[in-house]
Amino acid sequence: MVTSTSLRSTRAAGAKRNERGARATAGSPTQRTDLPRPVLTEPADAGGAKISGACRPGGRSNAPHAGIPTTGAVASLRARAAAARICSMIWPMRIPVDRLDDGGVSLRLYTSADAEPLFDAIHDERVWEHIPRAIPSNFSELDSGIRAKLIDGQRITFSVRQGAVIVGTTSILYDPAMPDAVEIGATQFDPAVWGAGINSRAKALLVREVFAQGAAWIQFRTDERNGRSAAAIRKLGATDLGVHQDSYVRRDGSTRRSRFFRLERPQR
């Protein structure tokens, strides 16, 4: 028989254990969430400035988590899971340039020297039809726009070449709210190479490198009206998550609806 005295003794002992545990936790450096995440190197961005990243689960995100907005208990569980996640991916990534080449298509880190040939390649209204920002009127504006996106250290932008000729651009985007994943996007190509498989080949090079550096999955998105882009993403084997309201605003002022895709790292 359990007496009231024994219950009080048990509760008192439990309270002391909890108090000791709280003091130990408060003084433990393993509980810090504001420490910078480890990086293999401290690479420079396209302008040569040093950039650094931190594994900060949660926070503001400009991308729906896994492409599907959630609410209520499910969202709460996902948030707690994200907060407890140990990151396996190193950001910022150090991209070995020689590995982003399949013999005909290659990707190189964007520099301002690429702005003029890139502008010539993508200065076509068709290229900008689904892009939610103003069309640059010259290569200086294009360069300024690209470099502005690199300032926060959460994007790596590439110039895509067919042989020695710049034919487009694409980027890897990192979101602290998705610390085990990246998004591949901001992709534009010269209409002269549309349908030639350049887009799929460029994405395949990035997918291989991103997974090699520890990402668990990759997100893609495209305007719901951009069938060409969606077809290129499907060729990679990505799962179509359907069309959802996005945070992007089209140039006509309408809020973009985007088709989201998710590609999981292959099991070994």
* pLDDT tens, position by position, 192-216: 999 999 999 999 999 999 999 999 9
What's the CATH code of the domain at 160?
Answer: 3.40.630.30
Specify if 180 maps to a domain.
yes
Specify if 225 maps to a domain.
no
Specify if 106 maps to a domain.
yes
Residue percentage of the chain with pLDDT more than 70: 67
Q: What is the 3-state secondary structure (H, E, C) of 92-114?
A: CCCCCHHHCECCCEEEEECCHHH
**Beta pairing, strands 181-189 & 217-223:** parallel
Residue 12: what pLDDT?
52
Specify if 150 maps to a domain.
yes
Residue 13: what pLDDT?
52
**CA triplet 220, 74, 89: central angle to 5 degrees?**
45
Residue 88: what pLDDT?
58
Q: Give the chain's domain count.
A: 1
Please give the chain's pLDDT, 268 residues, in tens.
Answer: 545 444 445 445 555 444 444 443 333 333 323 323 322 222 333 333 332 333 333 333 444 444 444 444 444 444 444 444 444 577 888 888 778 999 999 999 999 999 999 999 999 999 998 887 789 999 999 999 999 999 999 999 999 999 999 999 999 999 988 899 999 999 999 999 999 999 999 999 999 999 999 999 999 999 898 898 899 899 999 999 999 887 777 777 777 889 999 999 998 7
The residue among 87, 91, 101, 100 whose CA lies nearest residue 45 is 91
- Over the range 198-217, which residues count as b (16 or more CB within 10 Å of their CB) and which as e? bbbbbbbbbbebbbebebbb
Specify if 202 maps to a domain.
yes
Residue 255: what pLDDT?
78
- From the DSSP assignment, how many helices (H) and strands (E) are in the chain? 6, 7
Specify if 159 maps to a domain.
yes
Which tokens is 149 given?
């996106």
| Residues spanned by the domain of 168 | 99-218
pTM (2 decimals)?
0.67
Specify if 206 maps to a domain.
yes
Residue 20: what pLDDT?
46
Radius of gyration of the chain (CA): 23
Specify if 191 maps to a domain.
yes
